[in-house]
C-alpha cells in the first residue's frame, strides 16, 4: 500500500511540473498524450505494487506479430 502512495505522489509531482509547461506553450496534443501515458503507467505500476495478476506485454506483441513471422518464413523457404 505504501508503494501505491509513493507512486501517486511521484505522479502528482510530475504533473505539477510538466502540465503548466505544456499549457504555457499551448501544446494540447502533447498534453493529452502525456496525461494518457502517465495514467496508464500509474495504473500499471499500482497494479504491480499490489501484486495483481497482469498479462505480460510481450504475449500481446507475439500474438500480433506471429502470423507475420510465419508468412515471412513461408515466403523465404
Contact by Cβ (8 Å): 31, 22: yes
Residues 6-58: pLDDT tens digits?
888 998 999 999 999 999 999 999 999 999 999 998 888 888 888 999 888 89
- For residue 63, what are the CA distances in angstroms to 7, 69, 70, 71? 31, 10, 12, 14
Largest CA distance in the chain: 56
pTM score, two decimals?
0.65
Amino acid at each position: 500500500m505504501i508503494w501505491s502512495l509513493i507512486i501517486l505522489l511521484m505522479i502528482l509531482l510530475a504533473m505539477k511540473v510538466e502540465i503548466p509547461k505544456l499549457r504555457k506553450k499551448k501544446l494540447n496534443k502533447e498534453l493529452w498524450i502525456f496525461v494518457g501515458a502517465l495514467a496508464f503507467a500509474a495504473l500499471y505500476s499500482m497494479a504491480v505494487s499490489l501484486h495483481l495478476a497482469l498479462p505480460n506485454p510481450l504475449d500481446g506483441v507475439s500474438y500480433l506479430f506471429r502470423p507475420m513471422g510465419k508468412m515471412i518464413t513461408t515466403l523465404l523457404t
